[in-house]
Amino acid sequence: MQLDAPVNVLAGRIADASGDAVGVLRRHADHPSALLAINQDTLRFHDPAIDGLIAYRPAGRHHLVMAAGITAAPDQRALLLDRFLGWARRERRKVVAVQMFRDDAVLFASRGFRVNQIGASYSVSLDRFRISGTPFIKLRNKISRARRSNVSVLELGVDLPATSHIGEAIAAIDREWIKDKGAKELAFLIGEVGAPDQLDRSVKRLFVAMQNGETVAYVLYTASFGRHSGWMHDLTRRRPDTATGVMELINITAIERFKAEGAGMLNFGFTPLTSLADEHEIADACSRATAWTFRKLARHGSFIYPAEAQLQYKLKWAPDLVQPEYIAFQNGTAVSSLWQFLRLTRAI
């Protein structure tokens, strides 16, 4: 069977037509971050005989980095992976796969990859979620402080029209956030807002905080499919002088709306270097040196990524589902492969 060249489907195309990226995700995605596949600079590999895709980006001259696992029917995932690996081999590129759950990690291990846990993802079951009771006192207090500061939260395209003024305000928040933030965020592994006036609420929803008539913060929520269907708390931005509790107020407002709509999960997404444990590693496939390195970074690597701060924000919402996530290196954990991954994601 002749393999098609990889196809880069335009991110703006979101109809459920056969072969379309979002249509494939709706049918087969089972990772909360699968919508990363439609990021602007992300490429999508497919085979004409398989209803599926693999999201990836080139890294340097000799590597390809996959994200969010293999999207295909369960009985087609192994075949799609083999086709992708075959194509990468012909292109003389090594594959690094990141941010995948254990079932995909085991599949990579069976193909000779070195596989290690790199972090975990955290999710809340919305049908059981409440912020009543003693454990949520601090959270409720923060939300109340934001409300007393005359902050209101509106959803773009529902409570607030997507005007050019709002687009400019969001861009300004981004600039201030990037200038103020001392640590970096992971590129490639986070969602993208895009043009606010072109936001499709079936896959992306933007909640903004307004204070005294000005836009001061926002949270982008992206759709999750499969077993973890619902929404993912994806990209967050705020002005440096934003009042205490604004991000929490945005999130509880979104949660209340999602619950009313019958959404199943709120996924807080992947946090690297968290919840690392020996029992999560895959026997005979993990690199002990890589596991040791990740644990050292978890304790002392805040200069690379503020994992602890990210984790504390997620834990305050009492996630009831914590899932290990993995990274896989082809032909062993070569220093060059890890370096290219870190460069691609802007971790260094």
How far is residue 99's CA from residue 234's CA, in Å, rounded to a whole number? 14
pLDDT at 8 over 70: no
pLDDT at 209 over 80: yes
pLDDT at 59: 87
pLDDT at 108 over 50: yes
Residues 239, 176: contact at Cβ < 8 Å? yes
Q: Which is nearest to 30 in space by CA: 76, 63, 96?
A: 76
Alpha helices in 3-73 (DSSP H): 21-28
Q: Which is nearest to 346 in space by CA: 108, 178, 94?
A: 178
What's the pTM? Answer: 0.89
List domains and CATH numbers for the chain.
21-120+269-302+323-344 (3.40.630), 124-268 (3.40.630.30)
pLDDT at 335: 54
Percent of the chain whose predicted confidence (pLDDT) is above 70: 86
pLDDT digits (tens, 9 = 90+) for 271-325: 999 999 999 999 999 999 889 888 888 887 666 667 888 899 999 999 999 999 9
Rounded to the nearest 10°, the torsion over CA 194, 200, 201, 207 is: 20
Average pLDDT over residues 246-266: 97
pLDDT digits (tens, 9 = 90+) for 68-85: 999 999 999 999 999 999
pLDDT at 121 over 90: yes
* Banded pLDDT at 197 (limits 50, 70, 90): confident
Question: DSSP secondary structure string, 317-341?
Answer: T--SEEEEEEEEETTS--HHHHHHH
The token duo for 10 is: 């335009």
pLDDT at 168 over 70: yes
pLDDT at 2: 31
pLDDT at 12 over 70: no
Backbone conformation region of residue 54, classed left if phi is above 0, alpha if psi is from -120 to 50, else beta: beta
pLDDT at 188: 66
The three-class DSSP label of residue 123 is strand
Average pLDDT over residues 156-160: 94
pLDDT at 83: 97
